[in-house]
Amino acid sequence: MRSISVRELHDLMASGGTIDLIDVRTGMEYHGGHAVGARHVALGSLDPAKVMAARAGAQDDPLYIICASGGRSAAACDAFQRAGFSQVVNVEGGTGAWSRAGLPMERDAKAASMGLMKQIGLLALVAGVVLFLMPCSPFSLWGGAYCPTTPGQTAAAAPAVPAASSLDFQRDVVAASAQAPVLVDFHAGWCGPCTAMGPEIEALVHERGERLRLVKVDVDAHPQLAQTHGVQSIPDVRLWVGGREAARFVGYKDRAGIAAWVDAAVQR
C-alpha cells in the first residue's frame, strides 16, 4: 500500500498540481474540520467503482485517502485495491497529523454544531434509560432493593485491559494466551456495532474472571497493528488460545452468542 505524509501531500497541493483527496470519516467528523480541498466519502457507504467513475481528472491519477489517524483510510485503500484500483495513496497520520502540523483546515461550524447537539441528545436519552433499568440506581425501575451484590460482598474485578499506549501484542495476547484464552476486540469509536458489542464482551469477560482475558485494539490508534492482522471490517473479534489464534468473527454478536463461540473454539 502506497502512503504519503501530510507535509508531502500539502507540498504537492502548494505546487499547483491537481490533487484528488477524499476524507472517509463520518459526516460529523468531516464537517467539524477537514484538510483543505478534501471531499467527503464516508467509509460506511464507500463504493470504489462509483468513486472512481465520478472523478473529474484522469482515472489513473493518484487518489489520496485520509481519515482521523490512518486506520479507516488504510481500510478504504484496501477496499479500492480489492476492487481493482491500485492508484490509491494512504495519508499517514490522518487529519490529526495534518492539524498538528499546522496545515490549513476547513470547518463547517453550523453542521458540526448540529451534529454535536444530536449526539448530546442521544447520549442523554441512553443515560436516562440506563439509570431507569440499572439495579441500585436511585432512579431504577427496581429501586434500591435489587442489587447484584449484598452488603459485605464485593463484585469480582474484571481482568485489566491494557491501555492503548502500553499495548504489546506479543506480551498481552500471544504470551498471555498460554495462561488463559484472550479475546482481541478490534474496534473504533465511530463504529456503531463496535460500541453496541463492547459492553457485551466486557460483561462476559467480567463474568469469567481469570478464565478469559480481553485486549481492546482501537484501529485508529493502532492502524499498523490492524493492517498486520488483516483487519478489513469491524468489529473484528479474535480468540487466542495457547499462543495461537483459534477463531475469529466479524460483525455483531450478543453476550450469549459470544460465550457460545468462545466455548466452541476452546473445546476444539
Burial class (CB in 10 A: 0-12, 13-18, 19+), 222: buried
Cell of 154: 464485593
Grid coordinates given for 206: 467480567
pLDDT in tens, 50-68: 999 888 767 789 999 999 9
The reply to whether 77 belongs to the active site is: no
User: What are the structural domains, with CATH classification, of the chain?
Assistant: 2-110 (3.40.250.10), 159-266 (3.40.30.10)
Query: Residue 245, SS3?
Result: strand
Task: Tell me what pLDDT residue 141 has.
Answer: 47
22 forms beta bridges with 39, 65
Dist CA 42 CA 37 (whole Å): 16
DSSP state of 57: S
* pLDDT 10s digits, 109-140: 555 455 556 666 667 776 666 555 554 445 45
Q: Residue 140 and residue 132: Cα distance in Å, rounded?
A: 4
Lowest mean pLDDT among 6-20, 139-153, 167-181, 250-264: 139-153
Q: Give the Cα separation of 17 and 252 in Å (integer).
A: 43
- pLDDT number for residue 249: 92
Q: Which three cell numbers stand for residue 39?
A: 471531499
Decide if 76 contacts 67 (C-beta within 8 A). yes
Q: What is the pLDDT of residue 243?
A: 93
Among this protein's residues, is 194 annotated catalytic? Answer: yes
